[in-house]
Amino acid sequence: MFQDFGHLTERRRAEREQRKKKIIIVSCSVALLLVVVLGVVASLHIFTKDPSNVSATSGGLRTTSRTIELICSSTDFKHACESSLSRVLNSSAGNSTSTDLQPRDLIKAAIAAVADEVSEAFSQAKLIKTDDPMVEGAVEDCKGLYHYAKDELLQTLRDVGKSPAEQLPKKEHDLKNWLSAVMSYQQTCIDGFPEGEFKTKMENAMKTAKQLTSNALAIVAQAASLFSMLDVRGLRVRRRLMSDADGLPAWVPEGDRRLLKEKVTKNLKPNVVVAKDGSGDFRTISAALAAISEKYHGRYVIYVKAGIYDESPTVTKEMVNVTMYGDGSRRTVVTGSKNFVDGTRTFQTATFIAIGEGFMAIAMGFRNTAGAIKHQAVAIRVQSDRAIFLNCRMEGYQDTLYAQTHRQFYRGCVVAGTVDFIFGDAAAVFQNCVLVVRRPLDNQQNIVTAQGRIDRRESTGFVIQNCRFVADKKLALAGAAPIRSYLGRPWKEYSRTIIMESTIGDFIQPDGYMPWDGDFALKTLYYGEYGNKGPGAGLSKRVAWPGFKVIGKAEAQAYTVALFIQGGDWIRAAGVPVHLGMYN
């Protein structure tokens, strides 16, 4: 064995020590990130009491208070972060003969330590006893929302378990995506309750869970930056998803590749056909969805022939990679009339619900015909991650399109409505779409968007690019009271909407935006405009809120399809026309 001597040896030794420190810091960041993230899921009892599951090997993570302080330094709720991690890590260390723990051992121990506490937050809804049907319905919604959060986090845990440590940074966008969704589920549970005692109880019950989720989002960003600092062989990671030789991202199933490489609107071979006249395999969309085999793998294609389908189909979480195409957005239409005034919670008023990952709709129409007088009445609720809508039409009045969670892309679509008619907490990009503002009740005002980001670290927001804001011909009725129309208002504290390279009609008020309630969110929201045109695009009289910005091209780039929703991988793979960057 040869040994180096002199100044070179000392420098190399110092470099090695520095690299070791970086590796330890990054390993701690990733492990503790996942510990806190997984804390928002209740009852995931996958940790065993067998002490052998907590290993004590050289090269593990030394759980010191200094490490915890480092990890929590970037969070907004430092006390909650430090106390929860101290409790988790001390408990894990107590089951081991050493304080040196491997990342996956820490993850398992952390889940067991925090599950009961977080489970209590969700279980508070079950304890509510009342004869009020709206409250009872909110309790049921919370149960369903809890399962969405639990299932998504379990899937993420499985993915992390199968991934080498050096590949974890590639999951940065996915981690932020589902963490943001979990936060949205928590808030949606709260929002389902009418104002009063029960809503206050749920807000208090969810407080710690929301803080832990926010902290986890902060740790995601910290872990990513630490990884990017590394210059160690084996830990250099490309941030974009890996692609195979055919140009499709690695996550696309093998059986799906041929279909995705074909033109979307041509050569689609349906698995089943839906036709009201009986000429297909099913007469309703719901029946076609129910017939999907649990053992089916690949993309499932449903062709819906022209007709008005008065039903409320749901693409459930188990129905992944479903493509549904029709004969045109005005010819193949799903319709319904559920609404808030008649006693249905907004969350459940949707005519069509898309939950399963990878849902795609082409040349379809979705309507809620309840009318302006019925207030909240959703035409379509989209919860699906990597959802695509091509040449579709969404028609309603208040709350037409509920872009609830995850990453969504709308291309060549028409969305028509009145009050907050595009709302939710998704990361959604609308490209080459027409946003039609209709006439509301005479005592109402029109608002196109009401984005619902509740934490500044969420990766969500609405981006409207190269679209047209137009007025329905009935908006300005002769002799009727004039209606004020706005581009948006902040539904939640960190509402984020970017309008760029779009054409805005003169019916939009010069100030552009209206407040939700007093000065709520005016300092914390993020509204940006770039490169818009048309008579309603003038900026001289826009609101003077701290959160409103006229942004430059460099800042606008961050909200392009490629960067904001990572669409260069999954949208292009689907064969859908997409502009990944700026138009100008």
Identity of residue 153: L
Q: What is the pLDDT at residue 238?
A: 35
* Beta carbons of 466 and 502 less than 8 angstroms apart: yes
Tokens linked to 282: 């099913």
Q: How many whole angstroms separate alpha carbon 50 and alpha carbon 114?
A: 18
Please give the Cα distance from 180 to 460 (Å, whole number): 7
**What domains appear along the chain, each with residue ranges and CATH number?**
64-92+99-230 (1.20.140.40), 254-574 (2.160.20.10)
**Beta pairing class for 100-101 and 61-62:** antiparallel
**For residues 85-107, average pLDDT:** 53
Q: 189-203: per-residue pLDDT in tens?
A: 999 999 999 999 999
Q: State the amino acid at position 144 in one-letter form.
A: G
pLDDT at 534 over 80: yes
The pLDDT of residue 119 is 65
| Rounded-to-integer distance, Cα 40 and Cα 500, Å | 35
Q: Where are the alpha helices (DSSP H) in 192-246?
A: 197-229
Q: Which comes out higher in pLDDT, residue 567 or 481?
A: 567
455 classed as catalytic:
no
Confidence check: pLDDT of 405 > 80 = yes
Instruction: Please determine, for residue 530, whether its predicted confidence score (pLDDT) is greater than 70.
Output: yes
Place of tokens 């709709």: 361
Q: Is 214 exposed, middle or buried (0-12, 13-18, 19+ CB in 10 A)?
A: buried
Task: Name the least confident of 3-17, 269-283, 324-338, 388-402.
Answer: 3-17
Catalytically annotated residue among 191, 399, 420, 569: 420
Is the confidence at residue 388, as pLDDT, over 70? Answer: yes
pLDDT tens by residue, 73-95 = 888 988 888 887 777 666 655 55
> Residue 164 — very low, low, confident or very high, per pLDDT cuts 50/70/90?
low
Would you say residue 271 has pLDDT above 60? yes
pTM score, whole prediction: 0.82
* CB count in 10 Å sphere of residue 334: 27
**Each residue's pLDDT tens digit, 473-491:** 999 887 788 999 999 999 9
Q: What span, in angstroms and rounded, lies between the C-alpha atoms of 491 and 517?
A: 9
Question: Once rounded to an integer, what is the mean pLDDT over residues 450-464?
Answer: 97
CA pair distance 55, 48, nearest whole angstrom: 13
How many Cβ atoms sit within 10 Å of the Cβ of residue 75?
22
Distance CA 365, CA 494 (A): 31
pLDDT for 274: 98
For residues 113 and 349, what is the distance between their CA atoms, to the nearest angstrom?
Answer: 38
Tokens of 287: 């029946």
Concatenating the DSSP letter of every residue in 71-139 gives HHTT-S-HHHHHHHHHHHHHHHHHTSSSSEE-HHHHHHHHHHHHHHHHHHHHHGGGG---S-HHHHHHH
Q: How confident is the model at residue 312 (pLDDT cuts 50, 70, 90)?
A: very high
How far is Cα 263 from Cα 243, in angstroms, rounded to an integer?
20
> What are the Cα distances from residue 380, in Å, to 37, 367, 447, 465, 472?
29, 8, 18, 21, 20
Q: How far apart are CA 300 and CA 435, in angstroms?
A: 30
* Cα–Cα distance, 439 to 472 (Å, whole number): 7
Q: Is the pLDDT of residue 406 over 70?
A: yes
Q: What is the pLDDT of residue 35?
A: 43
Mean pLDDT, the chain, whole residue set: 80
Query: What is the predicted pLDDT for the residue at 17?
Result: 56
- pLDDT class of 522 with cuts at 50, 70, 90: very high
Q: How confident is the model at residue 168 (pLDDT cuts 50, 70, 90)?
A: low
Q: Residue 37 above 80 pLDDT?
A: no
Q: Which helix (H) or strand (E) holds 332?
A: strand 332-336
Residues in the chain: 584
Evaluate if residue 529 carries a pLDDT over 70: yes
Is the pLDDT confidence value at 558 over 90? Answer: yes
